[in-house]
Amino acid sequence: MAGIPHFAVALAVLASVSGCATHRLVVANPNPSGEAVAFDSDSFGLGAVQRRTVADCPSNLIDEVRVKQNLGQALTSVLTLGLWQRARIEYRCAKVPAGPAGIIEE
């Protein structure tokens, strides 16, 4: 029975670092360019205070956005009543679409 506390601790650590929720936003016709860029985002005061993060896409177009929150981050949000929320955000840039004769369609 002495092994149960170690198992419980290992299970808690595993649960806190595993994926809990993922939200994904994609365009209808994907046209990705390059690798995904990922960063951690913190929001304080129910979203009133947060660092402004600007996507660095040469085309100024985004192909896909993913927001991930693990169990530890979700528990922190619940325990602080939403006053502090942390999530992992990933995005992929899109290539510039070219129409006939290289003209960009709008």
pLDDT of residue 41: 92
Distance CA 89, CA 106 (A): 28
Average pLDDT of the segment spanning 18-32 = 86
Of 18, 44, 25, the C-alpha closest to 92 is: 25
User: CA-to-CA distance for 75 and 73, rounded, in angstroms?
Assistant: 5
26-84 pLDDT, tens digit per residue, is: 999 888 998 999 999 999 987 788 888 888 899 899 999 999 999 889 999 999 998 99
Whether the predicted model's global pTM rises above the 0.75 cut: no
Question: In the predicted model, is pLDDT for residue 104 greater than 60?
Answer: no
Of 91, 97, 89, 92, nearest in space to 29 by CA? 97
Phi, psi values for residue 72, rounded to 5°? -60, -40
